[in-house]
């Protein structure tokens, strides 16, 4: 009987903890959803903390429980957006493709993903400015640059790429992709095709 009596408060405490965690997750998601929309549509500088709070219908205290600053909110949005671009690019990669062909398909898929003006605003326009070069690079390490490095690393043992330094090759291709994306116009399909051909040639230039 004592065991049963003592069990009920424990169950109630666990349920309260679960509910608090769920509320915390929902609050964080609401902040990121509101912030991402604002950053994408009006840019980082034009978006204030008050704008984010109004859009999310949350208090300042609720936001600062999860994020220390607007920059921290943007950093989370940057990672989220970068991950979405990578997932979109991954849909172009088939298991039947060779490691080299997978690398090419992934690069071209990423170019198409960031052709979206909202992704472009967050990843290419505001990212380096809002986060600073060092923090942006650290976040890229965990997202796009990390995926690029892994793709090249898979291709080298297969004898499909001859990269003296996987890290250097990944940084080279990542920089080339960024510049290519910045130079593309959404309606210039001929330029998009030529850019794709050039990037393919660059990757093929690493092949043995």
Q: Where are the domains of the chain?
A: 1-67, 69-208
Instruction: Answer whether residue 17 shows pLDDT above 50.
Output: no
Residue among 25, 45, 47 nearest 37 (CA) = 47
Convert the pLDDT of each residue in 25-40 to its tens digit: 888 999 999 999 999 9
Q: What is the CATH number of domain 69-208?
A: 1.10.357.10
Record: fold of 1-67: Arc Repressor Mutant, subunit A (1.10.10)
Confidence of residue 168 (pLDDT cuts 50, 70, 90): confident
Confidence of residue 80 (pLDDT cuts 50, 70, 90): very high
Convert the pLDDT of each residue in 144-159 to its tens digit: 888 888 888 887 765 5
């Amino acid at each position: 009987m004592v065991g049963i009596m003592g069990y009920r408060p424990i169950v109630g405490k666990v349920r309260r903890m679960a509910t608090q965690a769920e509320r915390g997750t929902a609050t964080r998601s609401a902040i990121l959803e509101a912030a991402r929309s604002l950053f994408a549509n009006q840019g980082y500088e034009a978006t204030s903390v008050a704008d984010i709070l109004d859009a999310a219908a949350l208090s300042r205290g609720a936001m600062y429980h999860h994020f220390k600053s607007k920059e921290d909110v943007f950093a989370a949005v940057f990672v989220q957006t970068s991950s979405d671009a990578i997932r979109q690019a991954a849909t172009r990669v088939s298991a039947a493709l060779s490691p080299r062909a997978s690398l090419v398909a992934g690069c071209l898929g990423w170019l198409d993903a960031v052709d979206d003006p909202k992704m472009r605003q967050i990843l290419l326009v505001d990212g380096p400015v809002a986060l600073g070069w060092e923090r942006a690079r650290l976040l890229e390490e965990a997202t796009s640059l990390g995926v690029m490095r892994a793709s090249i690393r898979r291709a080298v043992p297969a004898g499909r790429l001859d990269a003296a330094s996987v890290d250097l090759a990944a940084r080279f291709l990542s920089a080339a992709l960024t510049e290519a994306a910045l130079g593309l116009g959404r309606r210039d399909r001929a330029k998009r095709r030529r850019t794709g051909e050039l990037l393919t040639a660059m990757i093929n230039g690493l092949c043995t």
